[in-house]
Amino acid sequence: MARAHSNIALVKYWGKRDAALNTPAVGSISVTLDALYTDTRVTFLSGLVADEFWLAGCRNPVTRISHVLDLVRGHAASMGLPAAGLNAIVTSTNNFPTGAGLASSASGFAALAVAAAGAAGLALNGRELSILARHGSGSAARSIFGGFAEMHAGTAVDGSDAYAEELLDRGAWPLAVVVAITEHGEKSINSTVGMNESKATSPFYGAWLDSADDDLADMRAAIRDRDFARLGELSEYNCLKLHSLMLTTRPALIYWNAATVAAMHAVQALRARGVPAYFTIDAGPQVKVLCLPGDAATVQRAMALVPGVHEARISGLGPAAHRLE
Ligand code: DP6
């Protein structure tokens, strides 16, 4: 059994360099969240005719799961371990709504990588686990690590340099994230499909790629200097740049609802009142508000008052993915 926490990108990944290897076209920087996590158990069994994936007690499609398990079986074969020839039962639970832009694939595939490697008897290091998780979902490569993590786009044709690593321990700069949930349902277009459509159709895609390294360098400097205003402004800017790319994709990727927009205005109003708070939004309608721990309760109250916000949860920065037993 393994637990991996969700993460929120401050400088975002959108677009693939190599679809088969699931390497990203741009690097990304995220914070791992302690309040949102996935628990996953992997059991390799003889006599099982196929892999099975059970999420919150319901049987789910196994394609991406089996892809990651195949890589684990490949490692196991090279070590002469029995899991090499066995199918597996994977059971998973999220402590937050699945598929609604709360990065369930990030925590999900990071937990799967750690649980499957452990169940197979492999001793993989953080980089190897990050690469394994990336094959399930790009953002999952970052959830192997706690605190602040950076994913490298890499240049190697085999994907061996496309992994994440920790930039800063969570204890070194405690921040809070208020997650405003505006919708509990599944999102309409998943990230994989959406980012491929952006690459194929948006006239902004080239500019997105060209400006990524500047944003990454600025964010690294903001984290190094513990400059919260710079981190926050850059996070909002990068988020809105991503959503400009999404909006100019054909057909348009409009992930926001009315409450998403109202929450963005509420964050700006908080800043006008002197509360340093900054929003970021992924491929879904939820709004994550970055703030200092001492302001988290104020930000939570402000978010809970936004019409259409069902719930506002406070999270600190989370730990690395780890085995539970
Ligand atoms: C907007 O990691 O879900 O959350 O690699 O195709 O599974 P796949 O995509 P995924 O995309 C995440 C996109 C994002 C930004 C981010 O987390 O960096």
Residue 325 lies in a domain: no
Quote the number of domains for the chain: 2
Distance CA 70, CA 65 (A): 9
Residue 70 lies in a domain: yes
Instruction: Output the pLDDT for position 234.
Output: 98
Instruction: Output the pLDDT for position 103.
Output: 61
Same-domain pairing of 291 and 180: yes
Average pLDDT over residues 118-138: 98
Residue 42 lies in a domain: yes
Helix, strand or coil for residue 278?
Answer: strand
Same-domain pairing of 107 and 208: no
Cα(12) to centroid(ligand 1), Å? 8
Same-domain pairing of 130 and 264: no
pLDDT over 80 at 140, yes or no? yes
The closest residue, in CA terms, to atom 6 on ligand 1 is 192
Same-domain pairing of 182 and 283: yes
Q: What is the pLDDT of residues 183-208, one digit of tens each?
A: 887 656 889 999 999 999 999 999 99
Q: Strand locations in 152-282, DSSP E?
A: 164-168, 176-181, 277-280
Same-domain pairing of 159 and 88: yes
CB 181 within 8 A of CB 313: yes
CB 91 within 8 A of CB 40: yes
CATH number at residue 154: 3.30.230.10
- Between 49 and 98, the higher pLDDT residue: 49
Ligand 1 pocket test: pick from 191, 242, 256 the residue with the most ligand atoms within 8 Å of its Cβ: 191
- The pairing of strands 176-181 and 311-315 is antiparallel
Residue 100 lies in a domain: yes
The closest residue, in CA terms, to atom 12 on ligand 1 is 139
Range of the domain at 200: 176-316
Token couple for 275: 């509360």
pLDDT over 90 at 61, yes or no? yes
Q: What is the pLDDT of residues 221-233, one digit of tens each?
A: 999 999 999 999 9
Average pLDDT over residues 158-165: 98
Residue 321 lies in a domain: no
Instruction: Output the pLDDT for position 186.
Output: 67
Cα(224) to centroid(ligand 1), Å? 25
The closest residue, in CA terms, to atom 3 on ligand 1 is 191
State which of 171, 192, 226 marks the end of a domain. 171
Same-domain pairing of 231 and 128: no
Same-domain pairing of 76 and 143: yes
pLDDT, averaged across the chain: 96
Residue 322 lies in a domain: no
Atom of ligand 1 nearest to the CA of 282: 1
State which of 171, 202, 223 marks the end of a domain. 171
Distance CA 99, CA 81 (A): 34
Cα(144) to centroid(ligand 1), Å? 15
Residues in contact with 204: Cβ distance below 8 Å, sequence separation at least 6, in sequence order: 244, 245, 248
Residue 324 lies in a domain: no
pLDDT-based confidence at residue 104 (cuts at 50, 70, 90): confident
Distance CA 279, CA 182 (A): 14
pLDDT over 80 at 99, yes or no? no
Ligand 1 is surrounded, with C-beta below 6 A, by 9, 12-14, 22, 28, 103, 105, 137-139, 191-192, 282-283
Q: What is the pLDDT of residues 27-43, one digit of tens each?
A: 999 999 999 999 999 99
Ligand 1 pocket test: pick from 8, 29, 139 the residue with the most ligand atoms within 8 Å of its Cβ: 139
Instruction: Output the pLDDT for position 102.
Output: 67
CB 49 within 8 A of CB 87: yes
State which of 137, 171, 205 marks the end of a domain. 171
Instruction: Output the pLDDT for position 310.
Output: 94
- Between 298 and 100, the higher pLDDT residue: 298
The closest residue, in CA terms, to atom 7 on ligand 1 is 137
Dihedral over Cα of 96, 100, 102, 103: its sign: positive
pLDDT over 70 at 135, yes or no? yes
Q: What's the CA dihedral at 65, 68, 74, 79 to 10 degrees?
A: -100
Residue 323 lies in a domain: no
Atom of ligand 1 nearest to the CA of 190: 3
Cα(26) to centroid(ligand 1), Å? 11
The closest residue, in CA terms, to atom 1 on ligand 1 is 282
Cα(242) to centroid(ligand 1), Å? 11
Cα(137) to centroid(ligand 1), Å? 7
Same-domain pairing of 136 and 19: yes
CATH number at residue 218: 3.30.70.890
Same-domain pairing of 20 and 45: yes
Residues in contact with 28: Cβ distance below 8 Å, sequence separation at least 6, in sequence order: 9, 11, 12, 13, 138, 139, 142, 150, 151, 216
Same-domain pairing of 24 and 153: yes
pLDDT-based confidence at residue 280 (cuts at 50, 70, 90): very high
Same-domain pairing of 166 and 193: no
Cα(79) to centroid(ligand 1), Å? 32
Same-domain pairing of 81 and 222: no
pLDDT over 90 at 97, yes or no? no
